[in-house]
Chain A
Amino acid sequence: MKKFFQLLLRNRLAAAGGVAICFVVILALITPLLPLQAPNVTNTANRFQPVFAEGHLLGTDHLGRDMLSRLLWGTRLSLAVGFSAAIFAAFFGAAIGIVAGYFGGRTDNVIMRGVDMLMAFPYILLALAIVAALGPGLVNALIAVAAVNVPFFARNIRGVTVGIAHKEFVDAARLAGLSDTRIILTEILPNVVPVIVIAMSTTIGWMILETAGLSFLGLGSQPPQADLGSMLGEARSALITNPHTSVVPGVMILIIVMGINLLGDGVRDALDPRLRSGALTRPMAATVVQRKGAVPAPHAGGVLTMTDLETQFHVGPRIYKAVNKVSLNVAPGECLGVIGESGSGKSVTALSVMGLVASPPGVIVGGSIRYKDEELIGARYTTLRRFRGDRVAYIFQDPLATLHPLYKVGDQLVEAIRVHHPVSRAEAWKRAVELLKQVRIPNAENRASTYPHEMSGGMRQRVGIAMALANDPDVIIADEPTTALDVTVQAQILSLLDDLRRERGLAIVFITHDFGVVGQLCDRVAVMYAGRIVEEGPTDAVLAAPAHPYTRRLIACVPELGEGRRRLEAIPGLPPAVDRLEPGCAFAARCTKKEAACVTREIELARAGPRAVRCLYPETDLSREAAE
């Protein structure tokens, strides 16, 4: 709750709206106590007094009534009606929505057909029909506005409820013996309330407008009593001669509704968890680069060389060091595996190469990435774009999410080709079909004209690979390309990738968390932990005799097929959060070989021959191994 108000107040506009609306509400509440003139006493001799006339701060209207007094009483009435309409609509709409969404099936069907029926009317027709039936009057206008809004709430809340009702915690509650009523009250409702509040805060201004509108049409409050809408309606005939009688109530409505909308947006932003975590920001075309130091010289040769790469996430005051001085290189025809758990920085490393880390919050703060002789960090956007997909291509994890759902796969391949090569569409299409054949998609001619959702996961990932191959790149960066696939499909995709690399001399950077995959596919492997490389070397050597305690224990705790039933060697504890890294070895807290020296200073990646390890007390003596 406290956090909610902090977030609300941090938003200056929302705070301004809140202050404005509080002021108006307080004014409306104390109106009966203020020394105002009677709002409904006519004095035609005194009609149309201008603003600032003596005794009438805001002048008088066509019947000589004091505008200030009428304005305040009218505001009071408008607010009361608007708020009540919102509460009624929210209550009934939410109740209907929750019942329909939770029970589903036939109940849902019948209720939602009814709601659809009501929403088939342009809302004012329904409101007019209700007023026509009940007769003009403020209470009837209130009923009409509330009634036409019930379907909106019902539909909105139902959607949210359906989402929650299918969550696993609702199943868990059922298994814990809770009844339907109790599940609705204790499991569903607390999760729906924020949505109801958001929906109310964003529609309440609109409901005030609507009741004012009905009064404006003469169907709401009846003379002599006036709300803001009917004041405007009465002033309409004198618009040209005495505009102030229109402007005063109109501006008041504007202030109220704007204040409510500003506040409502603030409430929505503060309550919506996605907005709270800043997830709804647009990632820029390329990752922001804020390099502090000089560009380091490349540490090794290769078609792609990263040297001391540092990528961070800047979220508010926190700095997450996702990638912390990582150096990697890959030669033509070579497959480099990068292995690590979630949060180890392996994917961020991969995405940093072509500036695809989402910014905000991602920032590359240092290091060098070279494609052949070209520096990529800090390169102009046009340079990056020229390389993207042409020289360095990506394959991503989830092939359903990474292909555009509304374009045919053939067209997506055509685009990949035509972005870099000025060929005709027909020619590009022919090449696209050719590519689909190369990734062994059966019936490629027809498959090119299908949409991604019509394919199986394995076929989609083949399309992803075909897209990466479209321009014959030198480097392919594969970011967990088989994690979302079934094991039999994974085997097909891995062998396809292996064949392609051998046929074409491709350099592959393969990001994974699976030692089995690394062991089968990669020539070299780099192990990452908490944003750093802790060990690197030829795959066979690392797997056979891991040097870093983390590598050894990670291998040991993963069961491998064929080892039978056994107790696993678990690693206690959790990886550290990369925004609060202690000095020294990040693994020290979980390590059985930890000494005082491990946490006093930075530990260098010690190289010996083809292998390297970042540990003071490695499991294998690398320099001796290299000497042998």
Chain B
Amino acid sequence: MTEVLKLQNLSKAFPVGKRLFGAPKGTVHAVQPLDLSVQQGETLGIVGESGCGKSTLARMLVGLIPPTTGSIEIDGKPLDNADPAVFGRRIQYVFQDPISSLNPRKTIRQVMEAPLKRLHGMDKAQRDRRISEIFDSVNLREEFMERYPHEFSGGQAQRIGIARALAAEAKILILDEPVSALDVSVQAQVLNLLADLKAKLGLTYLFISHDLAVVEAVSDRVAVLYFGSVVEVGKAEDIFRAPRHPYTRLLAESAPVVGRPLAAPEGRETELPDPLNPPQGCAFRARCPFAQGDCAAAPPPLAPPEGHRVACYHPLN
């Protein structure tokens, strides 16, 4: 297996309370420095709750926002230029809200042609042929081409969004909550389509979601994000069944499962830490039932370097 995507020390900090002159009042570290690698043909799931930095991470990966530190390597070549057009040919993005990711005043054909023209410089005939090919592969009828986005249901619009991402011919797709705006019966259609495309075209996915069950169903490996840091990475079949980080366990126990009795997995009524005023040491320790003195010293590193990795001084077994 080859490593197609490698993130090293990647982080993003946003200044808060910008002033016209002088330094901003504070910074929010939306993504703490992190290292991750994705293998060719793999689906890496990324889960986390709102505010954990998963969307910021996704937008950095496609060059929509420049990282504060660190580097992104695709196929061993660094992408240090934050120009989305350079990124566009190598890594593409599927948006959460399928309707708002389509310009309401463009026909589907116009939407589809943009990447073919701008990224690959195809002529009209080539473009038409390519669009038919892609439409075929995502089960869209060609008669949709002259219609406008508002004429489509959420599921169809999301197929169009996927088709557009495919048009760039990037081998890596960032799927940012691709099904959370869809109804459950349509979710499954789109998830299956994504699985088929991956097998057929040899794609690599980064699948971002807040829904543990969906992530588990589609991923090879899963990374759990908490407060801007990866707290655990492991095989999808292991990570929720036998979590090693207390936060992963909390997530897994909170997910409603038929037949499991209702119990608040957390006794205390806790809230997320304040991003402007981050806690010392492990960000989870205030909520953690296993927290000890050493947790407050420094943020625990992600270890071991390979396999099932966890950022905890007292991991579960």
Contacts and interface: CB of A to CB of B under 8 A. Distances in A.
A117 interface: no
B192 interface: yes
Interface stretch (A361-369, A379-387, A503-511, A567-575): A567-575
Given A171-B93, A486-B50, A516 B254 contact: no
A155 B186 CA distance: 41
Given A169-B103, A177-B118, A342-B183, A559 B264 contact: no
A198 to B, nearest CB: 15
Contacts of B49: 486-488
25 contacts: A168-B95, A172-B95, A172-B102, A175-B62, A175-B115, A176-B164, A177-B115, A177-B118, A179-B85, A341-B183, A341-B184, A487-B254, A492-B269, A495-B264, A514-B256, A516-B257, A519-B259, A558-B187, A559-B217, A561-B213, A562-B216, A568-B187, A568-B217, A570-B192, A574-B155
Q: How large is the interface on B (under 10, 10 to 19, 20 to 34, 35 or more residues)?
A: 35 or more
B188 A570 contact: yes
B168 interface: yes
Given A486-B50, A563-B216, A458 B257 contact: no
Nearest to B121: A177
A557 B256 contact: no
A513 B183 contact: yes
Given A488-B250, A488-B266, A173 B217 contact: no
Interface in B186-238: 186-189, 191-192, 195, 210, 212-214, 216-220, 236-237
Contacts, number: 208
User: Most chain-A CB neighbours within 10 Å: which of B252, B257, B258, B265?
Assistant: B258
A459 B237 CA distance: 33
Q: Which of A167, A441, A518, A565 has the most CB of B within 10 A?
A: A565
A449 interface: no
Given A487-B210, A491-B265, A554-B185, A515 B114 contact: no
A494 interface: yes
Contact of B186 (A179, A519, A574): A574
A54 interface: no
A425 interface: no
Nearest to B170: A175
Contacts of A518: 258
A571 B251 CA distance: 28
Interface in A496-534: 496, 498, 513-521
- The 10 tightest CB contacts between A and B, nearest first, are A516-B256, A177-B118, A519-B258, A570-B188, A491-B254, A559-B217, A495-B264, A557-B188, A168-B101, A176-B115
B262 A494 contact: yes
Contacts of B88: 174-177
Interface in B88-111: 88-89, 92-93, 95-97, 100-106
Interface string A534-574: 00000000010000000001100111111111111111101
A191 interface: yes
Interface string A160-190: 0000000111011111111100100011001
B258 A187 contact: no
Contacts of B100: 167-169
Interface in A218-263: none
A517 B256 contact: yes
B212 A565 contact: no
Contacts of A177: 84-85, 88-89, 114-115, 118-119, 168
Contact of B84 (A174, A456, A496): A174
Given A564-B216, A574-B153, A441 B264 contact: no
A109 interface: yes
Contact of A516 (B95, B103, B255): B255
Contact of A567 (B192, B253, B261): B192
A550 B84 CA distance: 43
Nearest to A571: B185
B114 A568 contact: no
A421 B269 CA distance: 31
B241 interface: yes
Nearest to B20: A109
A440 interface: yes
B214 A559 contact: yes
A399 B258 CA distance: 26
A442 interface: yes
Q: Among A177, A520, A565, find the residue whose CB has the most chain B CB atoms closer than 10 A.
A: A177
B77 interface: no
Contact of A173 (B97, B114, B236, B260): B114
Nearest to B240: A561
Interface string A468-505: 00000000000000000011101110111010000000
B87 interface: yes
Interface residues of A, number: 67
| Residue of B104, B155, B264 with highest tally of chain A CB at under 10 A | B264
Q: Which among B88, B213, B261 has the highest number of chain A CB atoms within 10 Å?
A: B213
B241 A565 contact: no
B103 A175 contact: no
A336 to B, nearest CB: 16
A187 B103 contact: yes
Contacts of A178: 85, 114, 118
B93 A175 contact: yes
Nearest to B252: A561
A494 B188 contact: no
B198 to A, nearest CB: 12
B298 interface: no
B306 interface: no
A190 B183 contact: no
B168 A561 contact: no
B272 interface: yes
B258 A560 contact: yes
B236 to A, nearest CB: 6
B188 A515 contact: no
A176 B95 contact: no
Interface in B170-188: 183-188
Contact of B271 (A459, A516, A565): A459
A172 B149 CA distance: 14
A558 B49 CA distance: 20
A276 to B, nearest CB: 12
Contact of A520 (B187, B236, B256): B256
Interface in A362-403: none
Given A492-B264, A560-B258, A565-B220, 17 more contacts: A168-B95, A175-B115, A176-B119, A176-B164, A178-B114, A191-B103, A341-B184, A491-B256, A491-B264, A519-B257, A520-B256, A520-B261, A543-B259, A554-B184, A557-B187, A562-B240, A570-B191
B125 interface: no
A519 B256 contact: yes
B217 A492 contact: no
Contacts of B217: 559, 563-566, 568
B262 A495 contact: yes
B276 interface: no
B183 A176 contact: no
B23 interface: no
A172 B98 CA distance: 11
Contacts of B85: 174, 177-179
Contacts of B97: 168
A359 to B, nearest CB: 25
Contacts of B153: 574
B36 interface: no
A516 B252 CA distance: 13
Contacts of A176: 88, 114-115, 118-119, 164, 167-168
Contacts of B253: 491
A95 B235 CA distance: 53
B237 A543 contact: no
B263 interface: yes
Contacts of B104: 169, 191
B188 A171 contact: no
A488 B251 contact: yes
A298 B99 CA distance: 43
Interface in A396-430: none
